[in-house]
Every structure is written in structure tokens, then in C-alpha cells.
Amino acid sequence: MELKDTAAIVTGGASGLGAATADALSGAGTKVHVFDLTSGPEGHDRSDGVTYHDVDVTDPSAVREAVAEVAADSSPLRAVVNCAGIGPSARLLGKAGPHDFELLSTVVAVNLLGTFHVLTLAAEQIARTSPDQQGQRGVVINTASAAAFDGQVGQAAYAASKGAVAALTLPAARDLAQYGIRVMTIAPGILLTPMLMTVSEEFRDRLAEGVPFPPRLGDPAEFAALALAIIENDYLNGDVIRLDGGLRMPPR
């Protein structure tokens, strides 16, 4: 699928994986619309083809309004990359008692429902565009996690939400095939996001030691490069790609 002179939505695009993806899409000639709870990264050049929208992905009404605004632009909406997510840690049974159910609801609301809202409402608008010569109209890429398959101690809620995103991939691709819309998911391992930068370098080095090859943490730019490769490869559909250097997470 050609990216030049089209529009794309990136959720969670004000930082981390989303920001790297927004920059990569913009560099490929795409008009990028970032949906995030912040107005954009400090110091970011707003004339570089990236527009920021203050959107809570857990609110379907807000998502519908923002997607409609994007679709009203002259550039056809062709790509969506869902990066918005949270990853708090809590054990099912901890020193303070059982898992906080409000925390569970929040994790599911952001990671699963937010992804579902944007996927569905963006697909509604993409389906209204004219198909290209191959009959395709767009592609949606969701973000799961290695935790969807190798959830660690304290990751029950997070792993469940990301496992659901992975499970969503194939049926969503089957549902949207008739409209020429592909659906893929990336399941990253340990990538060097701003959140990970808050821990000590020693701790990050220990994490990197568990990666078979290359023995280092992943770079958000590698996530962005994979997202672009998925968009450009028309035969990738209905599958989950792990981006983790061969890492299989230990229990803790």
C-alpha cells in the first residue's frame, strides 16, 4: 500500500512507540494524526506533517468525533497504528490483599477497549474510501506485547488485556476483508521507551542480558520500521508478529 499523500492515525503517539511511528509515517509522506491525552511532545515541530488531537481512546464518542475529523480531510485515511496502552503491575494476591478490580478495569479499558474503539470506528471511515488497484482500502496495526504469551509475575491484568488484542487480530481481519482492510498486530518485547528510561542503567542492562540476539533492548524506531513494512506488504494480514529478539520472558 502506498503511503504518500494519504492520512494515518497513531494512538499514543505523543511518546515512545507511537511517537517513533508517527515520525516514520510522516517521513514517508503520510499526513499523521496523533490521538493522545497530551497535546504532543514538548518541543515537537508541529509543521512536520503531524497533527495532535486530545483524544481519550476509552471514550468511543470522542474517538468517533476525532476519526470523522480525520476522514473529512482531503487525504484518504489508509493506516491506523494503535500504540496507546498502560502497563501497571499488581499480583492477583498481594500483601494488601486481592488485585484492585478498578485497576483491572482501567487496564482493559485502555489496552483492549481503546484498541477496539479505534479499530472499529477507523475501519468504518476507511471502508468509505475508494480502493486502490488491488482492491484494498487500508490497514490497522494493533499493539500487543510479549506479555500476551509470557506474562510475568504481577502482569495478570496487563497480559490478559494484551492477549485479548492478539486474539482479536484474526477475527478482525476476517470481518474487514470484504472492505479491503487488513489487520495486523505487533507484540513487542522490551523496547527502550521513556517509561523504561526511568529505571537505572544497571537494571536495563540486566533486562538486555535475557535477549538471545541481538543482546540489547529494542529501539522504538525498530517498531516503527516494522509498522511501515506491514503497511507496505499487502500480503500480511490476520497475524501477530513478535518483535523481541527471540526473548521469552521468565516468571519474574
Residues designated as active site:
158
Candidates 16, 1, 67, 69; CA nearest to 224 is 16
> What is each CA distance from 66 to 52, 55, 172, in whole angstroms?
10, 7, 21
Distance from C-alpha of 101 to C-alpha of 16, rounded to nearest angstrom = 27
For residues 106 and 157, give the distance between their C-alpha atoms in angstroms, rounded to a whole number: 10
Backbone angles phi, psi at 250, to 5 degrees: -75, 170
Helices 114-126 and 60-71 pack at an angle, to 10 degrees, of 30
d(CA 24, CA 21): 5
Q: How far is CA 68 from CA 124, 130, 252, in A?
A: 10, 16, 43
